[in-house]
Amino acid sequence: MQPTISIPKDWKYPKFWLGQRTKQGLIIGLEYKPVDTQLAYEYGNSWRYTVLPDKHSDEVRHYSDDQIQTLSIAEIQAELQAEIEEHQQQIKVLEQQLIAISGGSTDG
């Protein structure tokens, strides 16, 4: 079963979603700034996105709707292909370690 997030009827829907890859990085959080709040006064009444610019860092950044730039299909494909290749390389290293600890045989 997929988790469901309910958005109150008087709120605007976000332009971007959790897990979306953008030019700024990976969206890992969303925050809404309701009308008549200090956050809305300071940042405007809209969504604010928490973005992880680099998966190898614990640094996060915050952007509003108008600061996020989407990636093209080609850019997303390139990112995904790079991740696949990285994982394939990790699998090869793990397979070599498995062979080494089993005395050269993968039969166990």
The answer to whether the predicted template modeling score (pTM) of the entire model surpasses 0.75 is yes
Residue 86 confidence (pLDDT) above 90? yes
pLDDT digit string, tens, across residues 30-58: 999 888 888 888 877 889 999 999 988 88
Query: Does 31 reside within a domain?
Result: yes
Residue 93 confidence (pLDDT) above 60? yes
Query: Does 4 reside within a domain?
Result: no
Q: Rounded to an integer, what distance in angstroms lies between the CA atom of residue 94 and that of residue 6?
A: 41
Query: Does 94 reside within a domain?
Result: yes
Single out the residue of 25, 17, 20, 29 nearest to residue 53, CA to CA. Answer: 25
Tell which phi-psi region holds residue 36, choosing left (phi > 0), alpha (psi between -120 and 50) or beta: left
- Count of structural domains, the chain: 2
Are residue 15 and residue 65 in the same domain, yes or no?
A: yes
Are residue 46 and residue 28 in the same domain, yes or no?
A: yes
Are residue 88 and residue 57 in the same domain, yes or no?
A: no
SS3 (DSSP) at 45: coil
pLDDT recorded at residue 30: 94
pLDDT recorded at residue 105: 61
Average pLDDT over residues 63-90: 95
Query: Does 22 reside within a domain?
Result: yes
The residue segments making up the domain with residue 85 are 72-108
